[in-house]
Amino acid sequence: MVLIYGGNVKSLEEQVNEYRDRINQRYREILGDRYYQRLQRESERLLVPECFFDSIDELNRISQENLPRETPSKLLFLSDANLKPDDNGRIKKRNVNGSYGFYINDESFTHSGSSQITDKIIASYIHEYNHFVYGVLQRVPLYLARTTMISELSGKPVLLEDLPGIVDSIQYSPMPYQDKKNKIFLALNAYSMNDIWEKSTRILDKLILERIGINVAIPWRGKERKYGGKHLDEINMIIAIPLEGDPHKGLYDREVIRRIIEWEKYLNPVMRNEFVDNFYNSLKELSVRLMPLPELIEKNKREWEKHRKSKVYKREQELKKQLKKRRKK
């Protein structure tokens, strides 16, 4: 059994129980026995009740954000790692611990794209679960890669779909020329990676949901990619921005899924430079250990307590006290 739901939303619980056997069989058909068995092991290990958040208040407590009630259903990836690259684009950290969580309820479903195609909340869960499927089958989760890129592009959340806006905010910022160029190249790659990942998830959505009578339209499938040129005045460069079309054109659906799972072999940087090449290469070298959310939280607590007892922490606190005294004078 791969499809597990441990939350308390009755409408979703009932639909998962109703469709579980058909959906599990469909995952086996699409993924094949090897990936299906691996997904089954990881689902049973990671999807404990504590990783399902039934309300926006629960989500805000774990994410330490102030998300509005109109927030759509989502998959969360929680990690203890700071993967900020150095000035050359290299991520020095090699080991990452992470956990997955789900935010879904009847209200979040109404704000999700899945509510536009069906009145069944399970469609929204399957979409987020398919992100989870890719995440646990990938050696380095694309979710982690995307999060790392977003963190490097901005200190606050950015909408990757708004590539022109992101590029403009970078080119008109006061940062040095080379830093602007590096971040613009990274933004192009973040957009491309997100587009490929989201559209591959939509393909998997269609393959799964059609088994339970929910049709997922994919109007862009098989269409040629179209691009628009954007001239960057500040750094005297023209970039090509994807406008529409299918990044997976020419590939069968199941080949798309396999390539996304094995993305390190197939996903190459766009508009490459040294910074982006170093970033991708070091990202591919990460060792990611997934664990149930309560285990990650407990691990972080132990490490925090250990840090508080360290000489480094004590020196930091002493320095803060001295600075505070100086400000009062």
Identify the sign of the CA torsion 128, 262, 265, 145: positive
294 contact partners, CB below 8 Å, separation of at least 6:
48, 50
Segment 261-286 mean pLDDT: 90
Pairing of strands 237-244, 226-232: antiparallel
Segment 109-129 mean pLDDT: 96
Mean pLDDT of the chain: 89
313 φ, ψ to 5°? Answer: -65, -45
Segment 22-47 mean pLDDT: 97
Give the burial string for 282-319 (b: 16+ CB within 10 Å, else e).
bbeebebebbbbeebbeeeeeeeeeeeeeeeeeeeeee
Q: Pick the closest to residue 206 from 99, 126, 107, 307 (CA basis).
A: 126
User: Of the given ranges (35-44, 117-126, 146-155, 175-184), which has the lowest mean pLDDT?
Assistant: 146-155
User: Of the given ranges (26-30, 31-35, 133-137, 306-310), which has the lowest mean pLDDT?
Assistant: 306-310
Q: Is the pLDDT of residue 312 over 90?
A: no
Q: Is the pLDDT of residue 66 over 60?
A: yes
Q: What does the block give as tokens for 60?
A: 């805000």
Q: Pick the closest to residue 17 from 33, 4, 28 (CA basis).
A: 4
Highest mean predicted confidence (pLDDT) among 161-165, 201-205, 312-316 = 201-205
Q: Is the pLDDT of residue 12 over 90?
A: yes
∠ at Cα 43 (125, 22), nearest 5°? 60
**pLDDT per residue over 202-250, tens digit each?**
999 999 999 999 999 999 999 999 988 888 888 888 888 888 999 999 9
Q: Pick the closest to residue 102 from 125, 123, 136, 82 (CA basis).
A: 125
Q: What does the DSSP 8-state code read for residue 168? A: H
224 φ, ψ to 5°? Answer: -65, 145
Alpha helix segments (H runs only) across 9-55: 10-46
Q: Which residue has the higher pLDDT, 81 or 295?
A: 295
Query: Residue 79 corresponds to which amino acid?
Result: S
